[in-house]
């Protein structure tokens, strides 16, 4: 739309698109409003948009991820997680144990990551495990503990959901929903969180191309939930020296393709706590908007992913390193 287009003109364009049989997505900036026609674009291409009051131009969005595209939303999005911003020139850290095991462990870890500068508390209540015999979390009781820890230390919380039933219960207790790598292409689950009005952390599947990650995000966005954060967490390759291969190049590539914030997970590709800091430093240098890290006060006693969990002291040192790197990157006009 033209700068200064009236609400009446905007509503008129939306009505014309809907009459043609398409859905709409409206992105309102301080100066410009962009109205996206979602569906069969041939139904609206033949309409005379140049003669429509308030319209500056009409163009085809060339990417298959329409809503996630920079064409649809030229300015980077900022996602608000209960007052904590992801994107917009911030480097936001989410940290905590892989899974909620008990109150003492969770509260000790929460206090440690808060002290080190993390802004969002992570903790799993529904854990997807390779073996059916492994610990899979405390379920709703774990969510209650996570909520209590978040309130105690003044931190929003993020937790993973694995099934449609998890979405409703997790929304009652947590501030952000995580879609894990194994569920990145669980389209029913993506559609369900698209109906929720909670921010979503969408992790890239370990065998997924970048375009598949963006199209997975499109499922959530097209459902009406615009609060999506993308997460690079490592790919499965022929290399066995690390748990996964950290695709650091995905961060700048995604920045060129989408307005959505991009964060990374250095814990899963590392597989070992000692490897987390160098991977984290690389992710910050690549221009990410934040990271999610596993931190545990007693990793040797962890019931899930203890090998890759950082101890509080090491995490605090890493946070100082990342802050220095971020200031350099930011100063160079990232």
pLDDT 10s digit of each residue in the chain, 334 long?
Answer: 998 899 999 999 999 999 999 888 888 776 778 898 888 878 888 888 989 999 998 888 878 888 999 888 888 999 999 999 999 999 999 999 999 999 999 999 999 999 999 999 999 998 777 777 677 778 999 999 999 999 999 999 999 999 999 999 999 999 999 999 999 999 999 999 999 989 999 999 999 999 999 999 999 998 989 999 999 999 999 999 999 999 999 999 999 999 999 999 999 999 999 999 999 999 999 999 999 999 999 988 888 878 999 999 999 999 999 999 999 998 876 5
Report d(CA 288, CA 308) in Å as an integer. Answer: 21
How far out from the chain centre does Cα 80 lie? 11
Q: Helix count (H) and strand count (E) of the chain?
A: 11, 12
- Domain 79-331: give its CATH architecture: Alpha-Beta Barrel (3.20)
Reading the block at residue 171, the tokens are 């929304």
Distances (CA, A) of 103 to 100, 106, 110, 157: 8, 5, 10, 15
Residue 137: left (phi > 0), alpha (psi -120 to 50), or beta? left
Can you tell me whether residue 242 is helix, strand or coil?
A: coil
- Asked if 106 and 149 count as a contact pair (C-beta separation under 8 A), the reply is yes
Strands (E), 61-191: 79-81, 84-86, 92-96, 120-122, 157-160, 176-179
**In the block, residue with structure tokens 């131009």:** 57
Query: Which helix (H) or strand (E) segment is 291 a member of?
Result: strand 290-294
Closest Cα to residue 97, out of 333, 311, 324, 276? Answer: 311
Report d(CA 158, CA 147) in Å as an integer. Answer: 10
**DSSP classification of residue 189:** H
- pLDDT computed for residue 50 by the predictor: 86
- Asked if 315 and 113 count as a contact pair (C-beta separation under 8 A), the reply is yes
Report d(CA 195, CA 2) in Å as an integer. Answer: 31
Percent helix, strand, coil in the chain, to 5, is 40, 20, 45
- pLDDT computed for residue 334 by the predictor: 57
- Asked if 34 and 55 count as a contact pair (C-beta separation under 8 A), the reply is no
Report d(CA 319, CA 95) in Å as an integer. Answer: 11
Closest Cα to residue 112, out of 275, 295, 281? Answer: 295
Strands (E), the chain: 23-28, 33-38, 79-81, 84-86, 92-96, 120-122, 157-160, 176-179, 200-203, 228-232, 262-264, 290-294
- pLDDT computed for residue 59 by the predictor: 84
Class of domain 1-60 as given by CATH: alpha beta
Write down the domain spans for the chain: 1-60, 79-331
Interval 22-72: pLDDT, tens: 888 888 776 778 898 888 878 888 888 989 999 998 888 878 888 999 888
């Amino acid at each position: 739309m033209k700068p200064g287009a009236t609400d009446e003109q905007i509503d008129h364009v939306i009505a014309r698109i809907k009459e043609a049989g398409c859905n709409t997505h409206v992105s309102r900036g301080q100066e410009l409003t962009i109205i996206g026609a979602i569906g069969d674009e041939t139904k609206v291409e033949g309409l005379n948009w140049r003669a429509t009051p308030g319209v500056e131009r009409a163009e085809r969005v060339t990417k298959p991820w329409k809503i996630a595209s920079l064409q649809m939303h030229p300015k980077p999005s900022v996602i608000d997680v209960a007052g904590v911003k992801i994107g917009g020139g911030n480097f936001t850290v989410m940290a905590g144990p892989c899974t909620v095991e008990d109150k003492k462990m969770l509260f000790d870890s929460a206090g440690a990551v808060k002290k080190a500068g993390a802004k969002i508390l992570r903790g799993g209540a529904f854990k997807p495990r390779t073996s059916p015999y492994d610990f899979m979390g405390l379920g709703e009781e774990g969510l209650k503990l996570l909520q209590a820890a978040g309130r105690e230390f003044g931190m929003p919380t993020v937790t993973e959901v694995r099934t449609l039933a998890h979405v409703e219960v997790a929304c009652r207790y947590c501030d952000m929903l995580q879609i894990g790598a194994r569920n990145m292409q669980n389209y029913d689950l993506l559609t369900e969180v698209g109906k929720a009005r909670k921010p979503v952390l969408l992790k890239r599947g370990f065998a997924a191309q970048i375009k598949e990650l963006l199209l997975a995000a499109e499922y959530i966005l097209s459902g009406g939930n615009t609060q999506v954060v993308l997460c690079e967490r490592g790919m499965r390759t022929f290399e066995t020296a690390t748990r996964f291969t950290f695709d650091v190049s995905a961060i700048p590539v995604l920045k060129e393709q989408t307005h959505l914030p991009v964060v990374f997970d250095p814990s899963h590709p590392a597989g070992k706590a000692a490897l987390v800091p160098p991977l984290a430093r690389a992710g910050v240098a690549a221009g990410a908007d934040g990271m999610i890290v596993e931190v545990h006060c007693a990793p040797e006693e962890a019931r899930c992913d203890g090998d890759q969990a950082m101890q509080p002291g090491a995490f605090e040192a890493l946070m100082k390193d990342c802050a220095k790197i971020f200031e350099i990157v930011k100063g160079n006009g990232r």
